[in-house]
Structure 1
């Protein structure tokens, strides 16, 4: 199981970021996500967006930030 779950984009394109059942914040792009992860102690230069042990992407991968209109 990944340490961080990035949920599907909401109606505004924001993706909820959760770790161990705690909401860390909402990211609207990759830079927001890296800021959130840095805020909990992960150095951005060590974060690999394709590391399935670190991040579980739901509803699209790292480059999917299109608002969910449905």
Structure 2
């Protein structure tokens, strides 16, 4: 992993189906779906158009991958 590449950790779904999103240890919030995650990353200074949710050098998905959706 490149030192300039942020570490994005997506935690398992909580009771309400939302997933906590962290970038480099900073808590960005709870996401209901992939759109929320991309919005959090945009706010953190990343370009959503350049993000591949399947990129395992950027993302660590715990409890399911990018194809998850809230029940």
TM-score range, shorter-chain basis? 0.7 to 0.9
Residue of structure 2 aligned with 1:43, choices 43, 47, 57: 47
Q: Deviations over 1:32-63 (max 9, x none)?
A: 00000000011110010011111110000012
CA shift, 1:22, in A, is 1.3
Q: Which has the higher contact order (CA 8 A, sep 6+)?
A: 1
- Provide TM-score, normalisation by structure 2: 0.85
Q: Choose from 16, 20, 25 the match for 2:24.
A: 20
CA contact (8 A) 2:33 2:70 kept: no
Looking at structure 1, the residues matched to 68 and 12 of structure 2 have their Cα atoms a distance apart, in angstroms, of: 9
Q: What is the CA RMSD across the aligned residues, in angstroms?
A: 1.6
Aligned residues: 67
Runs of 4 or more, structure 1, over 2 Å off, are: none
Structure 1 stretches of 5 or more lacking a match? Answer: none
**Structure 2, gaps ≥5 residues long:** none
